[in-house]
Amino acid sequence: MKKMGILVSMLLVMCMVAWGIGFVPEAAAAKKKPILIGHVHAMSGAMSMYGISCATGGEIAIAEINAAGGVLGRPLKQISRDSKLSPETGLRESKDLFLNKRVDFLTGTISSAVGQAISAYAKRAKKIFIINISQSSRTTEELGHRYLFRIDTNAVPYFGYGPALALAQKWADKKIISLGFDYEMGHNGLRVFKEKYLQLVPDAKIIDELWPPLGTTDFTPYISKIANSGADAFFLSCIYGGGELAFTKQAWAFGLYDKMHAVQPCAGDVETWGKVKKGEPYPKGALATCRYPFWSIEDPKSKAFVEEHYNRVGFLPSYGAMNQYFIIYALKEAIEKVGAVDTEKIVDTLETMVLDTFVGKVPIRTCDHQAIMPTWFGIMKFTPDLPFPHITEVEVLRGESPYHSCEQIRKLRKK
């Protein structure tokens, strides 16, 4: 009898401890409970500048909004978590944000795999998830659903249709050789590029496709193959970041940029090229697409944004920062229109909203919840006004033509 007694009390103690841990003190219900926005991104590791930049863009918007009285009298708060580029971690953090921290909305990710995992969970949990960087078009097309939005360009205009339209307009090269990282985004990028380019320039041909494994930083054998291929231009599919820097260095040593035209979509990324100085290897004369060429955007709000971002973190904003900024404002507008933080009603409002931003009017398309963000392109050069190489002769692609049409998406979803 005594034995049982002791046992039961030990069991009770363990239970109380567990209950104590699990019982998240609903923080002293402050006077005005904040509206919580979760943010899951790569906050550490090689891609962390994107994550930090996005979080900063969000914080800038939140500071502005809170200073003006918040949304429906309540302040906004952003909680950032690290996905470590792993879908498992990203999912775990998202669950923690929704279940423990009780965020009202979730934003984020750079990795498409993480984005898709979180999207699937958001669908099940019936919570809004808004993408701010992840580019895979599949997420909003085949796998799109009611609670998923993307306020960001996607792989179609950035890696595919954009460069295709740009190349057709500028040089209309006939023989192209492609090099891409061997993963789904890489293959998709080339496929989408071909889709549009072969339509615009019917007698063009992709004479060869090279696929180094994801993460390669030594492209020498591929570059010598490109140099000897006899192509008019080479096209890079989803080669960005450190890999892109290494590629350009090696291609420069082979004199590749003087030998043929270069179509290097990611060369427009300030995140990668921001630290390169004059005299160092860079994608000279390459045709590049860009998602936020702030040096060529005149709106003073944009300039103020760039400055504020730089003051906060010491580097220039990535397009993700701009996207997150727009996302916060979009949520503000939607919540105010609806009059409450009601997920279902906010979804209905968002999916027909037109955002008024410092890059113009950006409508959110109902069929796939994709914001029709503009894409810019130009030729990479050094100019006296900036210390790093950037696109010049900047042109902009607006409207739906650089994106898959709703009709195309309906077909993809049926498959």
Partner 1 sequence: MRIEVIAAQALSGLSVGMVLFLIAAGLSIIFGTLKVLNLAHGSIYMVGAFICYTFTSTFAHVIGVFWWTLILAPIATALVGGLIEIFLLRRIYAEEMLYQYILTFGLILVLGEMCKLIWGVGYHTVSVPWPVNGSVPILGISFPVYNLFLIGCGIAVFVGLLFFMHYTGLGSTIRAVTYNREMANALGINVPMVYTGVFMLGCWLAGLAGTLMPPMSVVALGADMEVIIGCFIIVVIGGLGSLPGAFIGAIILGLLTSFGIFIVPRLAVAFGFILMIIILVIRPWGLMGKPE
Partner 2 sequence: MKGFLERVVVIKRLWLAMAVAFFVVLPFLIGEGWLSLVNEMLIMALAASGLNLMLGYTGMVSFGPAGLYAVGAYTTALFLTKTGIPFVIAIVAGPIVAGAVGAIVGWFCVRRTHVYFALLTLAFAQIIWTIIFEWYGFTGGDNGIVGMPVPDLLMSISHYYYFSLVVVVICLILLWMIGNSPFGKILQAIRENPGRTEFIGINVKRYQLIAFVLSSAFLGAAGSLFCGFSDSVFPDYAHWAKSTDMIVICLLGGMYNFAGPIIGSIIYILLSKLISSYTMYWMLFLGIIVVLLVLFMRGGIMGFISEKLSSKIQEIRLRGQYDTGS
Q: Does 388 bind partner 1 (CB under 8 A)?
A: no
DSSP per residue over 179-229, as a string?
EE-SSHHHHHHHHHHHHHHHHHSTT-EEEEEE-PPTT----HHHHHHHHTS
Q: Does 242 bind partner 1 (CB under 8 A)?
A: yes
Figure out which of the listed residues 9, 32, 69, 100 binds partner 2, where binding follows CB under 8 A: 100
* Contact indicator for 228, 192 with CB cutoff of 8 Å: no
Q: What is the CA radius of gyration of the chain?
A: 24
Cα 304 to Cα 249, 260, 298, 311, 326: the distances in Å are 34, 39, 11, 11, 14
Figure out which of the listed residues 69, 215, 360, 387 binds partner 1, where binding follows CB under 8 A: 215
Cα–Cα distance for residue pair 45/176, rounded to 1 Å: 34
Provide the minimum distance between the beta carbon of 229 and partner 1 in the complex, in angstroms, as a whole number: 9
| Residues between 191 and 230 that touch partner 2 (CB under 8 A) | 214
Figure out which of the listed residues 35, 36, 37, 43 binds partner 2, where binding follows CB under 8 A: 43
Provide the minimum distance between the beta carbon of 213 and partner 2 in the complex, in angstroms, as a whole number: 9
Provide the minimum distance between the beta carbon of 63 and partner 2 in the complex, in angstroms, as a whole number: 24
Nearer to partner 1, 41 or 127 (CB): 41
Q: How many residues does the chain have?
A: 415
Cα–Cα distance for residue pair 265/163, rounded to 1 Å: 7
Residue 382 binding target from partner 2, partner 1, none, CB below 5 to 8 Å by type: none
* Contact indicator for 343, 234 with CB cutoff of 8 Å: no
Residue 113 binding target from partner 2, partner 1, none, CB below 5 to 8 Å by type: partner 2
Burial class, 270, CB count within 10 angstroms (exposed 0-12 / middle 13-18 / buried 19+): buried
* Contact indicator for 281, 247 with CB cutoff of 8 Å: no
* Contact indicator for 90, 114 with CB cutoff of 8 Å: yes
Sequence-separated (6 or more) residues with CB below 8 Å from residue 359: 292, 297, 299, 302, 322, 373, 374
Single out the segment in contact with partner 1 by CB under 8 A; choices: 86-94, 125-133, 247-255, 300-308.
Answer: 247-255
User: How many chain residues are in contact with partner 1, going by CB under 8 A?
Assistant: 36
DSSP per residue over 311-361, as a string?
HHHSSPPPHHHHHHHHHHHHHHHHHHHHTS--HHHHHHHHTT-EEEEBTEE
Q: Does 19 bind partner 2 (CB under 8 A)?
A: yes
Cα–Cα distance for residue pair 290/130, rounded to 1 Å: 21
Residue 253 binding target from partner 2, partner 1, none, CB below 5 to 8 Å by type: partner 1
Residue 246 binding target from partner 2, partner 1, none, CB below 5 to 8 Å by type: partner 1
Site string for partner 1, 35-74 (x = CB under 8 A): ---------xxx-xx-------------------------
Residue 396 binding target from partner 2, partner 1, none, CB below 5 to 8 Å by type: none
Which H helix or E strand runs over 250? helix 241-253
Q: Does 225 bind partner 1 (CB under 8 A)?
A: yes
| Residues between 163 and 182 that touch partner 2 (CB under 8 A) | 182
Provide the minimum distance between the beta carbon of 320 and partner 1 in the complex, in angstroms, as a whole number: 16
Contact footprint for partner 2 (CB under 8 A): 2-3, 6-7, 10-11, 14-15, 18-19, 21-24, 43-44, 48, 82, 86-88, 91-92, 95-96, 98-100, 112-113, 116-117, 119-121, 123-124, 136, 138, 143, 182-185, 187, 214
